Amino acid sequence: MEMAVRQPVTLTQVAEAAGVSIATVSRVLNRRGQVDEHTRRRVMTSVENLGYDASSIARKREARIEQRMFNVELLLCPLAEQKNMLLLDFMAEALRGVQSFFSRHGNVRMNICTWEPDEIMHHEENEMIFNRLVNADGVLVIGNPASEIIDRLVEAGVMPVLISTDRQDIPLNSVCFDDFAGGVMAARHLVECGFRRIGFLCGSDKARSFLRRRSGVMVQTIDSLGFENFESRTPKTSDDSEVAVCFREWLESGHCPEAIITSHASAAAVVCRELKSCGLSCPEDYSIITFDDTIDNVFGLEITHLHIYPRELGIKSAQRIYQMMSSSGKDDRPYKIVLPLELTMGNSVKCRAK
């Protein structure tokens, strides 16, 4: 009588028993990337109950630990109007910071991928990228990711490090600037210069950093001058042409305050050009403060701005994901690292007599 040969248990069977994806099972058994403890226990219980032979995976894992090579995915999440995020000075400098940290260690391979905002048109490409993310040792996310993307990653057991963005509703690692405090500083400076109405030109209502800056300006203005003395406008997109239309309409409405704070530097340049086209100027007619950096060759102005250090942002982000990968899942407490902004004076604000 022939004895039935027991078929080996597959990863698919383990995944079905644990109620997770095959990629998540692979991550747990390989101890790669970040998987929450509840999911890890479910997978290991299924492995034990089904009798899955994980010895070969363990041998591969030990060999990889000896080599100490990590695969990191840097996910770019642009706004719909941003064709190439790395052409933006901020993004390029942050990337240099990430690369400079990893280059010190020599055991990190980093890939860069872009999540397309148009999910319907680019569904297949985005799904391929998602599979890369769940199989990476670490994931960095920069830009403006939709909440659904981050939720999917977390559900798949991936704990990314968010760069220049954050989520308050779920515990995640993030490295960002104190944009709210920067908004407070900008508004306070204008109040101290004697302005009694302050406006904020927000480049986009989809960029979380812009919204935090607006909130800081609004809170400080209302606290110092009253609710009725704060005005805000937001264009349809962050494209310069849309920003120009939005600001021009604000000017023509007669309600634009003479002290304006813009969410980012290129918006300040747009404001200066629009003022000139209307026969107005900065700071004689309108005073301007912006964020990120000063602007070169805008009618000889040095814009007062909240200076940021994107390279430091990149370094801190790379450092955090490296700590997480090196700890093999032991360092699973989320850290929120907040970097300060520096108010740098220029000649774009004309103080008034109080």
- In-domain check, residue 282: yes
Calculate the CA 294 to chain-centre distance. Answer: 21
Tokens at 15, concatenated: 């995944």
3-state secondary structure 236-277: CCCCHHHHHHHHHHHHHHCCCCCEEEECCHHHHHHHHHHHHH
Whether residue 296 is found in the same domain as residue 191:
yes
What pLDDT score does 7 carry?
63
Residue 222 counted as domain residue = yes
- What is the pTM assigned to this prediction? 0.78
Q: Which two tokens stand for residue 124?
A: 């297949």
Q: Residue 123's CB: how many other CB atoms inside 10 A? A: 11
| Residue-level pLDDT at 296 | 66
What's the pLDDT at 58? 61
What pLDDT is recorded for position 3? Answer: 42
Q: Do 195 and 272 have their domain in common?
A: yes
Distance CA 129, CA 226 (A): 48
Structure tokens at 128: 């391929």
Q: Are residues 193 and 231 in the same domain?
A: yes
Q: In total, how many domains does the chain have?
A: 3
Domain of residue 41, residue span: 11-65
164: Cβ contacts below 8 Å, ≥ 6 apart: 90, 94, 142, 143, 175, 176, 177, 209, 310, 313
Query: What token pair was written down for 112?
Result: 């860069």
Do 73 and 88 reside in the same domain of the chain?
yes
What is the separation, in whole angstroms, between the first and last Cα of the chain? 103
Q: Are residues 191 and 303 in the same domain?
A: yes
CATH number for the domain harbouring residue 248: 3.40.50.2300
Among all chains, which residue has been given the structure tokens 């960095």?
140
CA 182 – CA 220 distance, rounded (Å): 11
239 and 203 in one domain?
A: yes
How far, rounded to the nearest angstrom, does the alpha carbon of residue 306 sit from its chain's CA centroid? 18
**What does the alpha-carbon distance between residue 110 and residue 318 come to, in Å, rounded to a whole number?**
11
Amino acid at 280: L
Residue 183 sits in the same domain as residue 173:
no
DSSP state string for 111-167: EEEE--S-TTTTHHHHHHHHHHHHTSSEEEEEE---HHHHHHHHHTT---EEES---
Q: What sign does the dihedral 200-203-207-210 (CA atoms) show?
A: negative
61 shares its domain with 174:
no
Q: What 3-state DSSP class applies to 109?
A: strand
Closest CA to 291 of 147, 180, 205, 171: 180
On whether the CB atoms of residues 91 and 142 are closer than 8 A, the answer is yes
The answer to whether residues 336 and 287 belong to one domain is no
Q: Is residue 79 part of a domain?
A: yes
User: Which residue ranges of the chain lie beneath pLDDT 70?
Assistant: 1-7, 31-34, 54-67, 294, 296-297, 328-331, 353-354
